[in-house]
Homo-oligomer: A and B are copies of this chain.
């Protein structure tokens, strides 16, 4: 299977994470690197321990520089087009942990033009703007440090970004984006240009401060293509190539590799009601046998069970409790109904808390946002 099913704007079918890493030259995070991280962070985040953040580019170098007193800053982002789901939150949860442990700045790009240009959404930029503000509330609700976090919308921060994007764009030809993104003659020129905007935050802090600052990007693998194009260009402009740490996708409730925004029932949205959650989890794919009797006898497959996976990716941070759940699936001691009731409870508890934090943070929105 080829990773060609992983496009920046569409992920289809089953994702082979090892193959993706091999094909594009990512290194998997090994024991040695884990220890190197632990030296600064203490106990690893479960997203690392569970190999959900599983691969990287030059993360070892970032840590060496940090050790030498040359700290990095973080950069990640979110292209708004609708409400966020749990899968969207994962890179931010991890980025927040990195910010806390390394006490570093983070730039969060909200490319509010990206999907407007890349997809046929029938949304105006002003409509997307409203969605984007909503997304930012979900992000800051995670508790990023106010004084170390800069969040910006491309259309509002272009006064700072466009000049730098132009410098990047000069080194990227149509051929390059054609091959990398599968663009063609009918692609609009805004979509063609866009990747240079996504490259900018990876060196903007260096450009602003007039000296080279390492940058670490927590990223879902489908976004790697932008940086496969940009990393060499940034080196040509005299900046460090950004380092990247890659996350797998939270699978969809029906078992697809990536939770998709385009199928509402396959994803848990941050604004879902308790009833909607209950219904969606109730219909989720499990790894269990056809009947309770068979399940009790043979057990099921936790890897194919979305209830197990949702616990593993997000809702059960405690390793022992997670092991209990996975074992219960494996051994047939926990049946689907119990499994699902437990997950539903956890999701709804999380969402209730999240919604309340979201409201709490609303008044601090302006403390996080930067404009031109």
- State the A residues within 8 Å of B (CB): 113, 116-117, 125, 154-163, 165-175, 177-178, 183-193, 195-196, 371-372
Task: Report the Cα distance A163→B157, complex, angstroms.
Answer: 10
Inter-chain contact B113/A163, CB cutoff 8 Å: yes
25 contacts between A and B (CB under 8 A): A113-B163, A116-B166, A117-B170, A125-B163, A155-B163, A156-B159, A157-B159, A158-B158, A158-B161, A162-B162, A166-B190, A168-B190, A169-B188, A172-B188, A172-B189, A172-B190, A173-B186, A173-B187, A174-B174, A174-B183, A189-B192, A189-B196, A192-B192, A192-B193, A193-B193
Inter-chain contact B193/A185, CB cutoff 8 Å: no
Inter-chain contact A154/B158, CB cutoff 8 Å: no
Task: Report the Cα distance A174→B183, complex, angstroms.
Answer: 9
* A179: nearest chain-B partner, CB-CB: B185
Q: Which residues of B contact A183 (CB under 8 A)?
A: 174
Inter-chain contact B155/A162, CB cutoff 8 Å: yes
Shortest CB–CB separation between residue A185 and chain B, in angstroms?
Answer: 4
Shortest CB–CB separation between residue A285 and chain B, in angstroms?
Answer: 38
Name A195's contact: one of B156, B159, B189 (CB within 8 Å).
B189
Task: Report the Cα distance A191→B172, complex, angstroms.
Answer: 10
Contacts A190-B193, A193-B190, A193-B193; is A185 near B173 (CB within 8 Å)? yes
Task: Report the Cα distance A183→B117, complex, angstroms.
Answer: 21
Q: Which residues of B contact A155 (CB under 8 A)?
A: 162-163, 166
Inter-chain contact B174/A187, CB cutoff 8 Å: yes
